[in-house]
Structure 1
Amino acid sequence: MSDQPGMKALFTGWGEPASHRNESMDERPPESEVVMGKLEAPRAASAFEVGGIDVQQLALALAEQLKPPEVERPMLGELADAWFEHIAPKRVAPGNEAALLDKLKPLFLDDENTLTVSAINELFEQLLADGYSPTTVNKVRGAGRHVVDFAIAGRRWHGPNPFGICRRKREVRRTYDLLTLEELARVQEHIPSHRRGMFRVALHLGLRTGELLALQKSDVDFEAGIVTIERSHNRDTTKTGTTRVVPMHPAIAGDLLEASLASPSELIFPNEGGDLQRHDTKLTRILRTAMAAAGVGVTSVEYKCRRRWCEEKPHTRDATAVEDVDCPSCGMRMWPVPEVRPVRWYDLRHMNATLHHEHGADEICIAKALGHSLKGTTRAIYIHPDIAMMRAQLTKWRLD
């Protein structure tokens, strides 16, 4: 551009002496010559011309060239689909992310210009009103934040992440009702015989329910005394996507052998037909029924008359044990329905870790047996407990 006639006078002449600038302007080419690359007819000088260049037209041309391109503003639903398609192959259970994104659907038609922090907070308040816990709402917030962060990385979102601006909901840490070893021994006597082996294996190995149901005969090495945990319910991997090898507790060797011999399939704890049990098998109900029968963790008892025609209404008493109570209306012995503490089958995993800790087991061995990650460089990278050390640490207690 600097080689064109008159451009030198436009960009460099302002700093030269006046006499030099006049000489430069006197030497400019005729109006009929090329100006800005176009051939124009002679015309009268414009007030916006400098050195034969129409500054106004030049400014308009430059503004047109510097005009920012049209910015793509896709809707949140499109961005959510793109993010899910990206992460689904990397997740062990992508259905969890899909469920969280489903709760963001009321915002899917919003884009960068219309999605506001107030709209997001309004949705979160509605989720809380619908009965979702603060923990779930925070997970939904996290999913939305990941969606927009992914869009920002792909230059499909150009402003701040509104989900990151929203504040997390305050979570109430769950309190766990755990049973002592003595209480577990009493409850064990009332677990149905075909479920007792599952109960003992889940307690001594700290397995997740899906890992317990998916346990196969090939996963158990009786000669080496180890159990390999590498799959979960309807999944070829565990929850964390890793395989772990744990020592077989001597207390459950007999339970595993008996279940293996009785099973008609490759599964150790199948259903009656030898197939994988349903993921929603009512194991917690079985555990609480056994607790009520053993009188463990009873908080209250509801008494109902056994006679259908009796008009006596059920009544509840705060009690820690079941008593014999007669109906005040007809004299018939009333039916007791104990209410127990809200202990879940999954809490056997918490009891496993707690009992190991109470008996002085090494925390790294506990974490590796449960499949938990280790914090800190030394713990996570440099300490490698072998199976012998884990066996010594994780067999300090047993349920007979």
Structure 2
Amino acid sequence: DERTRQQVPIPGPDGTRGPMPRWAEPLELVSQRPHGPAPVFAECTDDEAEAGWVAAQVRTLLDEGITAAEIAVLFRTNGQSQALEQALAAAGIGYQLRGGERFFSRREVRDGILQLRAAARSAQDVAGDQVPGRVRDVLASLGFTETAPQASGAVREKWESLNALVALSEELAAARGDQFTLTDLVAELDERAASQHAPTVQGVTLASLHSAKGLEWDAVFLVGLSEGLMPISFAQTQEDIDEERRLLYVGITRARLRLFLTWTLARGTGGRSTRKPSRFLEALDPEAGSRHGAQSRRRPSGAGGNGTGPRGNGRKRSQPALCRTCGALLETGAERKTGRCLDCPATYDEAMFEELKAWRLSTSQAASLPAFVVFTDATLVAIAEAAPKTPAELLRIPGVGRSKLEKYGQDVLELVNGATPA
């Protein structure tokens, strides 16, 4: 103890003994930034629903003024990116995959520069704000279009690369004025290629946790935080598990302001809900092991009528969900949302369900979103069956979080209760 450290004599430089010196007081680290928003935890039924939820949250962040380049979605394995690419593309949100081939090494970029070099020889009179237009025309032969393609994967990556060349031509033309020519652009591209100075792709970053080390963004989504992915299934020894925990810590500390952590109950739509939240989440979100169908940590516990009960270790556990028609155990996420087996007779107003689908279609089209991002079919069925009268009743339906209640709650309640949505 402190008294012992002060009184025990220790030999000095000259061989004499004196009192042991006091230990330095522990350092206290004080943040230079104010507290930010609390992390958001979201459980989704499957990978597609998770990707759709992430795309919807990204759209909200963009509307709040956060730039796409300051948003990242991080995952454990590269194979997880496909659903995210598709959801972002469907929502009209640009993205870039980090950790892939270098920009100027990509085939479409090399071909684009060759085409622009050839065009520059016969376009000496093209200068100033005419240059970006000529670049678009030249790159159109390689697949560039004014609007981003809905496809994901290689098609979208190619378009993003060509669009980055167009964006660079616009930036340089605006900065250098009427004297800037297509030849100047080609020279700039050659110089950048020599130094690997790639133009910034304005889009959300999709990256693996490994490739995100050393980087930061204002908003970060950590997705797929289920057992088998985090920690990865082949991490068997304690040393491997500890390394996986450190990798999750890397992801958490990539966020400057906003942090979202998500996991899924099943891989594919309608699949069995066999996944469990990552064990690492227990220390971060005590409700992670019991939440079902949640859209954020602010959602009331027990939503959806499944009920909760005590457990020996102090955590809560959802009771088995049973079909309201036949009493059988409900196995899939879609069945639990509707509260009945998929092959049991419908207990809802089918006309109301069709009206909800029509409303969802018009709403999604107006917002340029895929329909499932507004509400899935299973959620619409649950709404038609429950026929909620108040916002509180609507919020209790799985798939309706507070953000969706704020966006669509009034329209849905008016429609369910016989009024025409505004």
Q: TM-score range by the shorter chain?
A: under 0.3
Rg bigger for which structure?
A: 1
Q: Which of the pair has the greater relative contact order for Cα pairs under 8 Å at 6+ separation? A: 2
TM-score for the superposition, normalised by structure 1: 0.24
What's the TM-score once normalised by structure 2's chain length? 0.23
